[in-house]
Each structure stands twice: as C-alpha cells, then as structure tokens.
C-alpha cells in the first residue's frame, strides 16, 4: 500500500486518483498510525519551504515519517516535498529534514526586464525534459522524450554526486531528481504530468 502524506499541502487527491486508475492500493494518510501500514510513502508539496516545514511539523506526522525512512521504506518527495529532504534551503530559515545531504538553492537571478529567453525567466514554469542518469527503477521507460511539469524558483543541490538521479536543462543543467538509499525526490510534479507522470508513479509503486 502506498501512503500519501496529507499535511495540508500538495495535491494528495491527484496522486490517489492516479493510483486508483492504476489499480494500485493507496491511502491518503493524515495520522501517524496510518503511516505504519504504508509500504511506500509519497510526500507531496506545493509552496514555500518554511510554510511546508511548519505544516509538516503541525501535522504530527514528522516522527512517523522519520521512523519509516529509518526502516528503509521507500519515500518519494515531490517539489517542496523533495526540497524538505535537504538540510536547508535558501528560501527559508527553518532546518530541513536532512534525509539527503545537500541544500536547496535559488536559481541565479538572471532575469532582465524584456527577456524573452527561457533561461532567464523565474520561476521555472512549464513542461521540460528530464534526463535520468539511470533508466531503471524510478525512470524505467522514461528515458526517451519524457517531459514533466515544473513550477519552482529553487533547486536541490546534493552534496554527493551519487545522489543525482536526473537532470534538467534550464539555462544550464541542474538536478531535477535525487536519491539517497530509500529516499527519492523529484522537483517536477508527476501527479500533473500526464502519461509520463503516471509511468513514474507506477515505477515508484513497483520498486
């Protein structure tokens, strides 16, 4: 069973609907004991770093999540759900969960009024290519022409090269998916990325 963490941020229902269509058992989880039966966990998110951290603390789910990570259960963070897995973020002052060594940084502010160049507009908003470093596991079947929806101005800079799972080109390459052991994170929104996102969520369920 996939547990979708409901801490008041991110589109939990969109994940649940996709798993329902795939005939994969999934549950929206709002209480710590419900998390106990989840074999795999999704930590969704939309929003600013500190706001998300406060919401997660307030939900009472943090220690149950940390327990699950410690037991080696696969966890997938999405967007700010992934960014929270870092040690810190330039967007906020609160410490992150520290599950993956690294920090969240703001894209360089190259924006000039009148710019028509994609590389200079922030936030990075829209559909972009994701180039996985490993065509198995989470990105099985997603190595050719896969594209995903992005909406962010901050990105994950992992400390270890080994943590890089995929990269994306936005005025230069940056890390758009990370992994450390059983902890996975994607910057884009698979729940809003049509067939490609559905494939990724299916892959996560089948890990």
CA distances for 171 relative to 41, 125, 191, angstroms: 32, 13, 25
Which residue's CB is nearer to other proteins, number 72 or number 194? 194
Number of residues binding to other proteins, judged by CB under 8 A: 61
Which of 34, 189, 194, 206 is catalytic? The answer is 189
> Contacts with other proteins in 130-189 (CB under 8 A)?
131-135, 139, 141, 143-147, 149-153, 166, 168-170, 189
Contact track, other proteins, 20-59, x by CB under 8 A: --------------------------xxxx-x--------
Residue 91 interacts with other proteins (CB under 8 A)? yes
Residue 128 interacts with other proteins (CB under 8 A)? yes
Inter-residue contact 46 to 8 (CB < 8 Å): no
C-alpha angle 142-168-158 in degrees, rounded to nearest 5: 105
If one counts every other C-beta atom within 10 angstroms of the C-beta of residue 38, the result is 23
DSSP string, 74-138: -EEEETHHHHTTSSEETT-SS----SSSEEEEEPP----TT---GGG-SSEEEEEE-EES-SSGG
Q: Could you tell me the smallest distance in angstroms from the CB atom of residue 36 to other proteins?
A: 25
C-alpha angle 110-112-114 in degrees, rounded to nearest 5: 140
Which residue's CB is nearer to other proteins, number 18 or number 69? 18
End-to-end CA distance of the chain: 12
Is 194 catalytic? The answer is: no
Residue 118 interacts with other proteins (CB under 8 A)? yes
**Site for other proteins, rule CB under 8 A:** 8-14, 17-18, 46-49, 51, 80, 91, 111-118, 120-129, 131-135, 139, 141, 143-147, 149-153, 166, 168-170, 189, 191-192, 194-195, 197
């Amino acid at each position: 069973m996939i547990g979708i963490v409901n801490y008041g941020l991110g589109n939990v229902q969109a994940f649940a609907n996709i798993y329902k269509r795939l005939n994969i058992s999934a549950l929206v989880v709002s209480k710590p004991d419900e998390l106990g039966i989840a074999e795999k966990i999704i930590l969704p998110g939309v929003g600013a770093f500190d706001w998300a951290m406060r919401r997660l603390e307030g939900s009472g789910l943090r220690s149950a999540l940390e327990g699950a990570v410690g037991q080696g259960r696969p966890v997938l963070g999405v967007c700010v759900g992934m960014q929270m897995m870092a040690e810190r973020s330039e967007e906020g002052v609160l410490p992150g969960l520290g599950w993956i060594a690294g920090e969240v940084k703001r894209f360089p502010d190259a924006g000039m009024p009148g710019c028509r160049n994609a590389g200079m507009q922030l936030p990075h908003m829209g559909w972009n290519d994701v180039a996985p470093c490993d065509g198995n596991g989470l990105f099985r079947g997603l190595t050719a022409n896969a594209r995903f929806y992005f909406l962010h101005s901050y990105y994950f800079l992992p400390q270890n090269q080994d943590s890089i799972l995929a990269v994306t080109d936005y005025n230069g390459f940056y890390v758009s998916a990370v992994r450390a052991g059983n902890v996975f994170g994607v910057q884009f929104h698979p729940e809003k990325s049509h067939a490609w996102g559905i494939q990724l969520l299916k892959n996560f369920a089948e890990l």
